[in-house]
């Protein structure tokens, strides 16, 4: 046992318990040994033509897609600022099922409406067609999952409070208090599940930079995120001032957009097709 000025640390094998002066446990630390990932066929993957042999499948799950949602800041009666979802969508690697949802097309422009929009999208993803799909979300752990997880938890809690049972089974995977992956299952249909994974942990760069790095033909555009509010979700009109755009926008890009594009909130990303 070792001591510090305010705590005691008791070491038991590979675990350590941190106690305060009142012998209350304030932390528990356990060392976990992880074996190195070994690629048994690494020699077969070496190819001077930079082509993988057709006999080797380097993807454990070939079923994947992308998911994204957009939010705006709202203000409640007490003056508290909070964010809520107004658009979201997904696309899988077959490239033919782009599906998007816009708040004013389906529900009332309220907090409850925003939650229903997210649930509608997820229910249409939790079908046999997308069973075991992995949906990559850029910056999932610091943004999108905050809305997904809360809305699903609140809905489960509502069902339970009404005398029913939870509809969704949620299995988050954490690292350093941040969600890396969120698996969602339907409670009464065990064979259907989807997973959301943070692609920022795999490709640690902005979407705009990644488009440039990989020479993507359709790159991420610019959008006045700070301009969006609950009163202008269907806005069509002059391009908003440059102050509503991200700080990294330059005057050349802003001017080009102002001259060439019809400003419309739905011009952001993929939100053109509705279910």
Q: pLDDT by residue (tens digit) across 177-202?
A: 889 999 999 988 777 999 999 999 99
Instruction: Using a pLDDT cut of 70, give the percent of the chain over it.
Output: 78
Q: Are residues 212 and 229 in the same domain?
A: yes
Does the residue 274 lie in any domain?
A: no
Q: What is the mean pLDDT of residues 100-117?
A: 96
Mean pLDDT of 141-145: 94
Would the pLDDT of 265 be above 80? no
The model's confidence at residue 28, banded by pLDDT at 50, 70 and 90, is: low
Residue 271 confidence (pLDDT): 40
Length of the chain: 275
- Among 170, 137, 168, 122, smallest CA distance to 64 is for 137
For 93, residues 6+ apart whose C-beta sits below 8 A from its C-beta are 62, 63, 64, 65
Q: How many domains does the chain fold into? A: 2
Least confident of 5-14, 52-61, 123-132, 185-194: 52-61
Whether the pLDDT of residue 222 is over 70: the answer is yes
pLDDT digits (tens, 9 = 90+) for 237-263: 888 888 898 776 778 778 876 665 545
Give yes or no: residues 80 and 194 share one domain: yes
Q: Flag whether 229 is in a domain.
A: yes
State whether 196 and 79 are in the same domain: yes
Domain that holds residue 230: 207-267
Task: Assign 266 a pLDDT band (cuts: 50, 70, 90).
Answer: low
Which has more pLDDT, 164 or 252?
Answer: 164
Same domain, 90 and 211: no
66 or 249: which leads in pLDDT: 66
Average pLDDT over residues 27-43: 59
Residue 131 pLDDT exceeds 70: yes
Give the domain-ending residue among 168, 201, 234: 201
Q: What is the 3-state secondary structure (H, E, C) of 182-218?
A: EEEEECCEEEEEEEEEEHHHCCCCCHHHHHHHCCCCC
Q: Please indicate, yes or no, whether residues 165 and 252 belong to a single structural domain of this protein.
A: no
Asked whether residue 60 is domain-assigned, the answer is no
Q: Are residues 191 and 250 in the same domain?
A: no
What is the rounded average pLDDT for all residues in the chain?
Answer: 82
> Distances from the Cα of 169 to the Cαs of 127, 177, 190, 195, 197, in angstroms?
15, 20, 9, 12, 16
User: What pLDDT shows up at residue 275?
Assistant: 34
Same domain, yes or no, for 195 and 129? yes
């Amino acid at each position: 046992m070792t001591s510090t000025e305010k705590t005691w640390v008791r070491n038991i094998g590979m675990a350590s318990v941190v106690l305060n002066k009142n012998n209350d446990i304030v932390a528990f630390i356990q060392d976990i040994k992880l074996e190195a990932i070994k690629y048994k066929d690494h020699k077969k993957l070496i190819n001077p033509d930079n082509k993988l042999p057709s006999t080797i499948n380097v993807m454990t799950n070939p079923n994947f897609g992308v998911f994204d949602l957009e939010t705006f800041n709202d203000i409640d009666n007490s003056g508290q600022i909070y964010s809520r979802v107004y658009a979201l969508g997904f696309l899988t690697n077959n490239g033919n099922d782009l599906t998007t949802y816009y708040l004013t097309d389906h529900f009332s422009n309220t907090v409850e409406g925003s939650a229903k929009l997210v649930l509608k999208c997820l229910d249409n993803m939790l079908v046999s067609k997308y069973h075991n799909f992995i949906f990559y979300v850029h910056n999932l752990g610091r943004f999108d999952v905050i809305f997904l997880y809360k809305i699903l938890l609140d809905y489960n809690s509502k069902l339970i409070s009404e005398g029913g049972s939870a509809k969704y089974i949620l299995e988050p995977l954490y690292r350093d208090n941040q969600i890396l992956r969120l698996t969602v299952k339907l409670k009464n249909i065990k064979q259907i599940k989807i997973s959301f994974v943070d692609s920022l942990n795999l490709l640690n760069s902005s979407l705009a930079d990644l488009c440039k790095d990989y020479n993507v033909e359709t790159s991420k555009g610019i959008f006045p995120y700070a301009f969006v509010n609950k009163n202008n979700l269907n806005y069509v009109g002059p391009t908003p001032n440059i102050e509503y755009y991200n700080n990294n926008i330059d005057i050349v890009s802003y001017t080009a957009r102002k001259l060439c594009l019809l400003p419309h909130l739905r011009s952001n990303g993929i939100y053109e097709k509705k279910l």
